[in-house]
Amino acid sequence: MPACGDRTLMQPLLQVRDLVVEFPTRRGTLRALDRVSFDIAPGEVLGVVGESGAGKSMTGAAIIGLLEPPGRVAGGSITLRGERIDNLPPREMRKVRGKRIGAIFQDPLTTLNPLYTVGHQLVETMRTHLAIDAAEARRRAVGWLEMVGIPAASERIDAYPHQFSGGMRQRVVIALALCAEPEMVVADEPTTALDVSIQAQVIALLKRLTREKGTSVMLITHDMGVIAETADRVAVMYAGRVAEIGPVRSVVKAAAHPYSAGLMASIPPLSHKVDQLPQIDGAMPRLNAIPQGCAYNPRCPHVFDRCKVERPELLQAPETRAACWLFDSDAPRERAHV
């Protein structure tokens, strides 16, 4: 993968700063996202990885303004090309969704309305956001179906979702997400529900189309293989926080945060056979029991006193930025006994 220039010079397309999402519940408020920050540059693919419950999908939902109630953004900001979108009135936010930020969901079997033809769903999306007439919209819909690789698109446009296979349906979903030409797409586990044999095709399609159109992608997945193949940069999430963020090659080959390092070590290598994969002991804490200090400290092999008291911000590590006190250049290091 080619190196992608110096991103700090470019104005980011999407900026997420100290995003906090909370769920009020009977026994107190749960903090599902705790000061999450990252940028996505124009045309960039940011992979977001982490265990289930780490807050990946929640972050995606917050960006497109579709958090499930009673969840709500309780702090921080989300800006799209310098314009705040986390506090837009619903009417304005609707115009952002689809038009400026597209979305792809996990299960193509359930994301398409079974009662309408795929053509109808494409046309209604385009005509909501673009000033085109019905005939033009239909012409473009055929074009989109061709672009996502549906054979005999001009006939299949009048078919219903159930007449497509899962992989084909996800292609339709991709067409739906891109058809109003948004600046970025939030793809939440776009291949998880598909057959393994089809996953690679769909990811390749997504990658090709977004590169052609210059669309940024926030690719949420727990599949490191997909990330390694597709993303420019990757953010590792843990317990509602960003643990590490950096160029994909660096995170995969030289993860700085002990959690990402553990995560990468548990991926089976393709090149040679191993008898046993290392695993991280313990489990991610529940939202109502996140420890003080670094959320990872009970499981961390390098834990020391400070980790249990003070929460680390993202700090400059050799190749990435990691939320880990090991990389605090200002403080003397006091390693615990491993």
Return the closest-CA partner of residue 170 out of 153, 187, 152. Answer: 187
- Check binding of 16 to another protein (CB under 8 A): no
- Check binding of 72 to another protein (CB under 8 A): no
- Check binding of 128 to another protein (CB under 8 A): yes
Answer for which of 3, 52, 82, 115 binds another protein (CB under 8 A) is 115
State the Rg of the chain over Cα: 21
Residues in 132-171 that interact with another protein by CB under 8 A: 159-160, 162-165
Which residues fall within 8 angstroms of residue 23, CB to CB, at 6 or more apart? 29, 30, 32, 70, 71, 287
- Residue with token string 């265990």: 51
Pairing of strands 184-188, 101-104: parallel
CA distance 32 to 111: 24
- Nearer to another protein among residue 210 and residue 260 (C-beta): 210
Least separation, in Å, of the C-beta of 201 and another protein? 17
Q: What is the DSSP letter of 250?
A: H
Pairing of strands 184-188, 216-220: parallel
Total residues in contact with another protein, by rule CB under 8 A: 35
Fill in the per-residue mask, 166 to 205: x = in contact with another protein (CB under 8 A), - = not in contact. Answer: -------x--xx--x-------------------------
Return the closest-CA partner of residue 209 out of 177, 161, 252, 245. Answer: 177
Fill in the per-residue mask, 73 to 112: x = in contact with another protein (CB under 8 A), - = not in contact. Answer: ---------------------xxxxxx--xx-x-x--xxx
Q: Which residues bind another protein (CB under 8 A)?
A: 26, 64, 66, 94-99, 102-103, 105, 107, 110-117, 124-125, 128-129, 159-160, 162-165, 173, 176-177, 180
